[in-house]
Structure 1
């Protein structure tokens, strides 16, 4: 076997990768993962869970079968006993279950025997079981983070010599920046004077639609990509646009964006 310079180079590169491999533990304050055990009908199995906002409960992959395997679903697990607290569900539904239980204010950070004798825990367990079942069956959020329909804020315009611009701006700063530019360009291109004023409309230009899922941010609004701007207008028109963009309507006027909609299946 002939050893070439290329072989030596490859070996040196491989050894450098091994030497650079991390050997120290991540500090606990920067790591939400915890080793745990999960309970199964025929015994216990090791698992890794993520700490949650509810002390005593871990977010874990849902495992089952013989041999025990990952199923692609998630659940909340009682850290002290390994007992699964929620039914198998999507990651999005299980994240929302954490918020639901947090609002209930029940103490799960206790031994299993103590939790089993707590009537509030029993009531919360069965209520959540049924609510999650309905949400999973209907492919909708377990709970909503915000209203979907929002009246758009009045827009800003430029007034000059008694005339108000047809063009509008989302903020005072945006209108002022354009007015400042129009006053400084070479004469003859734009016809604004330093005495131009920035004024605001007194009514909303229409409705905007935002995703109601906890997984989305408060600023996740429907956008009309054809115009490369936020979609504002009548509800019926926005509903048609939302359907085209893959959004989904839910009871009581809630909507989820196309990305979050896929997370509930």
Structure 2
């Protein structure tokens, strides 16, 4: 009588591909049911392919990953090690609760730097004081341009001057406003240039007129981000 011996070979899952995050070991991948994309996204453990709790809209999935990265947990470990670490499950639940609370309030779960930022004193040409420049090279280029134009008869008498105090600008406080391209800034609707004001109060008035949304004393959202966070589906997360 012969005995056939079967040998079982453990197969290591293929590493999960997805959008990278600030948490080593975690990526963001599309959520799918029976092979069909649901419109939501999941934070996924790279090595095992296991999901970290519930699917979320993309922006909130990114913010969830940021909150997980800020926890004192090494997410790059094997899934078995993470399963035995109470800190990991606790951090994941706490971060998910923060995301869901933010979604119900139609605001980000994670905020970037304060929206209002100072700009060093600006340069200007004495003959055109309303047009200001952030750098020396910009104002020199403007002076040369004016020098080449016939409608600037007194260019020889013009001088470069600099304001005696900083100006103020505003940027969107959403951490993932325009990913990869920098946060939106409050712009002059006509010239499409950043709005810079000598007075913080004047800047805040302009922000309201431009439909920016105030979250608190330091943080504002640009119109596009404010609209995205107002999605009524977020309240059901």
Indicate whether the TM-score tops 0.5: yes
Q: Which runs of 5+ in 2 are unaligned?
A: 1-13, 232-237
Give 2:143's aligned residue: 179
Deviations 1:143-163 (A, max 9, x none): 12221011333221235xxxx
- Matching of residue 256 in structure 1 with residue 218 in structure 2: no
Residue 121 of structure 1 corresponds to 88
Unaligned runs of 5+ in 1: 1-33, 37-47
**Structure 1 residues 185 and 227, CA, compared in 2 at 3 Å: closer, same or farther?**
closer
Shift of 1:98: 2.1
Distance 1:249 1:88, change over 3 A: farther
Superposition RMSD on alpha carbons, in Å? Answer: 3.0
The structure-2 alpha-carbon separation of the partners of 1:80 and 1:218, relative to structure 1 and needing over 3 Å to count, comes to closer
Q: Deviations over 1:111-160 (max 9, x none)?
A: 3221121132123112202111111111211212221011333221235x
Partner of residue 223 from structure 1, selected from 187, 190, 195: 187
Which position in structure 2 is the counterpart of 1:242? 207
Distance between the aligned counterparts of 1:56 and 1:179, measured in 2?
Answer: 53
TM-score by length of 1: 0.66
Structure-2 residue corresponding to 1:200: 162
**Whole-angstrom distance in 1 between the partners of 2:35 and 2:203:** 47
State whether residues 182 and 190 of structure 1, in contact with CA within 8 Å, keep that contact through their aligned partners in structure 2: no
Q: Say which SS state the counterpart of residue 99 (structure 1) adopts.
A: helix
Matches within 5 A, 1:54-73: 54-63=23-32, 69-73=36-40
Q: Deviations over 1:69-98 (max 9, x none)?
A: 533121212234443214332211111222
Q: Deviations over 1:216-260 (max 9, x none)?
A: 354631112135432233445544543444432213421121222
Any runs of at least 4 consecutive aligned residues in structure 1 with deviations exceeding 6 A, and if so which? none
* Distance in 2 of aligned mates of 1:63 and 1:222: 37
CA distance, structure 2, for counterparts of residue 52 and residue 227 of structure 1: 36
Distance 1:263 1:55, change over 3 A: same
Q: Residues 168-205 of structure 1, C-alpha deviation per residue, up to 9 Å, x if partnerless?
A: 4213223223333444556x851132x75422111124
CA distance in 1, matches of 2:18, 2:144: 56
Residues 227, 111 of structure 1: CA spacing in aligned structure 2 closer, same or farther, 3 A cutoff? closer
Cα distance in 2 between the residues matched to 1:167 and 1:243: 22
2: CA distance between counterparts of 1:185 and 1:203? 31
User: Structure 1 residues 239 and 109, CA, compared in 2 at 3 Å: closer, same or farther?
Assistant: same
Name the count of aligned residue pairs. Answer: 212
Pick one of 202, 211, 214 that aligns with 2:175: 214
Alignment of 1:125-204 (within 5 A): 125-159=92-126, 166-170=129-133, 171-183=135-147, 189-193=152-156, 196-204=158-166
CA contact (8 A) 1:222 1:242 kept: yes
Higher radius of gyration, 1 or 2: 1
